[in-house]
Amino acid sequence: MKLTPLTKGLLADALLIIAAVVAFYAFPYDLAFLTRIVIMAILVLSIDLILGLGGIVTLGQAALYGSGAYAAGLFAIHISGDPLLGLAVGMLAGAAIAFLSGLLLMRAEGLTLIMLSIAVALVLQEIANRARDWTGGADGMRGIRMDPILGLWRFDFIGQTGYIYVCCVLFVVLFALKVLKASPLGLMARGIHESPARMRAIGAPVYQRRLILYTLGGAIAGIAGALAAQITQLVSLEVFNFSHSAEAVIMLILGGAGKLYGAIIGTVIFMVVHHLAASVDPFNWLFIIGALVLGVVFFVPQGLLGVPTALKRLIGGGK
Amino acid sequence: MKGLQTKGLNKSFGGLVVARDITLSLQPGDRTALIGPNGAGKTTFSNLITGILKPTSGQILLDGRDIGGMGEAARVRAGIAKTFQITTLFKHLSVRENIRLPILERERRALRFWHRADRDKGVEAEIEAQLSAFNLLGLADRPVQDLAYGQQRLVEMAMTLALKPRVLILDEPAAGVPSSDSHLITGAIEALPADLAVLIIEHDMKLVFQVARSIIVLVNGAILTQGTPPEIAANQQVRDLYLGAHHD
């Protein structure tokens, strides 16, 4: 059976929507957990944009996520409880921090870039810790109260509204990234990934281009952070934790980088396995995750999305 | 003053002088070869012109305008394009995409994110024309990494020409290409637009004498002599120094 990329994409979208709806009815008491998965998927998508597409390897996405979370929290407390406005504020904050830190970061590559990106998150965490009056410091930011979405849908206690809200945002982000991936900008990003030297030789200022990609990635990470702040109505210093950045990258590699859907599949599998393994054995759950990642990296380096192709090759049916 | 000029170009790394007072001119339509033994400073000279290296002193002019302060990408946009000594392509992208990117860059469209990259009729028609000019139509949708090295060389040339440069620097265009395929490269060089200024940096003397109308000999970072191919072939100094082994 031959499928054009377009039908494949539509099919994947349909499956994704069905899965989201089924999950909503099948796990009515786990909506908080499902919501966390969806928010995480948006964060992982932001990494897919800069790492999967643009080949920019960082371990500091938490800096942009956390900025979005604090900005949305502050906005909700001091200015307006409107969720969509708060989302826009979080997005702008993520983009702004990505741009400002990117001015330095995007000049670096490899290990230097990874170290610097980790440092940015640590610096922001310390700033948030010191600015107690604004952020609540180590106690976290409390008192976030959200208005109903578009004045119509109130956030409820079981989290139904929240879940539908984050799912809608995920679909919008996914759609935007699909358009971007197929656009000249997307092709340019893949060019930067493949060969910066060649990009310079065709007249592309690589540093500026990387800065643009990083800023776009920051905007999406900011959206994820804002959602987390709005849903949990609490922002703590943990949003800047290194483990956040690292786990998100692992989720991306698990699902398959550069393919968008890989980011979503990787996030779902990582978080579900984490959840189940942790409830079976709260002390050694990391062992299961580690084995899973090892298996994927060794046997299907393209990630779980690459499994069908790998199987086909194994059976010898496809090219 | 049309074309590319360098005036008293010098480059040294500490005490090591790699370019010594290089003054030359490349006019539209020129086919000039830059030859010299290993370590003569040929690639350094190419890097000075393309902006990968900054000269210690001296000027680089394009159509009379000093471009010494421009970065690499800006010089490409100004009209100086080059191919690499070792093919440098977007390996996982298709041949078509490899040619689409330079066109989008040339047209300053590479930052558009709101429409598909492959739907512009003008751009697509230009890609087709470029592909057929280099006999690559049959390979258009294959990833570049699947192509033979000689074909990859052609893709690189097609990409570079898609930039519509005014000055073209070919850094060892035949390096690594099996001799059975070298006619592809000479053919492509002979078919270059007539008004393009071309500088060929090459080791392969057969190719140089086939395509160059003027030859510059570089030794220890300085120009030893310059002349037509017959003049260079007859020059005893050059024969002793560089061509001896080939011409006995």
Nearest residue of chain A to residue B123 (CA atoms): A184
Is A206–B105 a contact, with Cβ atoms under 8 angstroms apart? Answer: no
Is B110–A212 a contact, with Cβ atoms under 8 angstroms apart? Answer: no
Domain encompassing residue A101? 5-315
In 3D space, the residue among A61, A83, A36, A62 whose CA is nearest the CA of residue A240 turns out to be A62
Q: What's the confidence (pLDDT) of residue B20?
A: 92
Nearest residue of chain B to residue A212 (CA atoms): B111
Nearest residue of chain A to residue B111 (CA atoms): A185
Q: What is the DSSP letter of A316?
A: T
In chain B, what residues touch A202 (CB-CB under 8 Å)?
76, 81, 101-102, 105-106, 159-160, 163
Which two structure tokens, joined as six digits, stand for A54? 């643009």
Averaged over A240-250, what is the pLDDT? 95
In chain A, what residues touch B84 (CB-CB under 8 Å)?
197-198, 201
Q: How far apart are CA B138 and CA B121, in angstroms?
A: 20
Of chain A, the percentage scoring pLDDT greater than 70 comes to 98
Q: With 70 as the cut, is the pLDDT of residue B247 above it?
A: no
Nearest-CA distance B78 → chain A (Å): 9
Span A172-207, pLDDT tens digits: 999 999 999 999 999 999 999 999 999 999 999 999
Question: Could you give all domains of chain B from N- to C-terminal order, each with its CATH number?
Answer: 4-247 (3.40.50.300)
Q: What's the confidence (pLDDT) of residue A116?
A: 97
pLDDT band at B14 (very low <50, low <70, confident <90, very high): confident
Q: With 60 as the cut, is the pLDDT of residue A317 above it?
A: no
Q: What's the confidence (pLDDT) of residue B236?
A: 86
Q: Which of B46, B82, B113, B115 should one mutate to test binding to chain A, selecting the residue with the greatest count of A CBs within 10 A?
A: B113
Identify the helix (H) or strand (E) that includes residue A151.
Answer: none
Check which CATH number belongs to the domain holding A260 and give it. 1.10.3470
β pairing state of B16-26 and B197-201: unpaired
In chain B, what residues touch A183 (CB-CB under 8 Å)?
112-117
Q: Which of B101, B124, B159 should one mutate to test binding to chain A, selecting the residue with the greatest count of A CBs within 10 A?
A: B101
Expressed in angstroms, the distance from the first to the final Cα of chain A is: 14
Taking the Cβ of residue B92 and every Cβ of chain A, the question of whether any pair is shorter than 8 Å is answered with yes
Q: How far apart are CA A227 and CA A235, in angstroms?
A: 11
Q: How far apart are CA A5 and CA A52, in angstroms?
A: 18
Nearest-CA distance B119 → chain A (Å): 10
* Residue recorded with tokens 């930067």: A192
Span A137-156, pLDDT tens digits: 889 998 899 999 998 899 88
Contacts across the A-B interface (CB distance below 8 Å): 98
In chain A, what residues touch B143 (CB-CB under 8 Å)?
none
CA angle A63, A68, A69 (to 5 degrees): 95
pLDDT band at A46 (very low <50, low <70, confident <90, very high): very high
Taking the Cβ of residue B96 and every Cβ of chain A, the question of whether any pair is shorter than 8 Å is answered with no
Q: How far apart are CA A56 and CA A94, in angstroms?
A: 17
Span A69-91, pLDDT tens digits: 999 999 999 999 999 999 999 99
Q: How many domains does chain A have?
A: 1
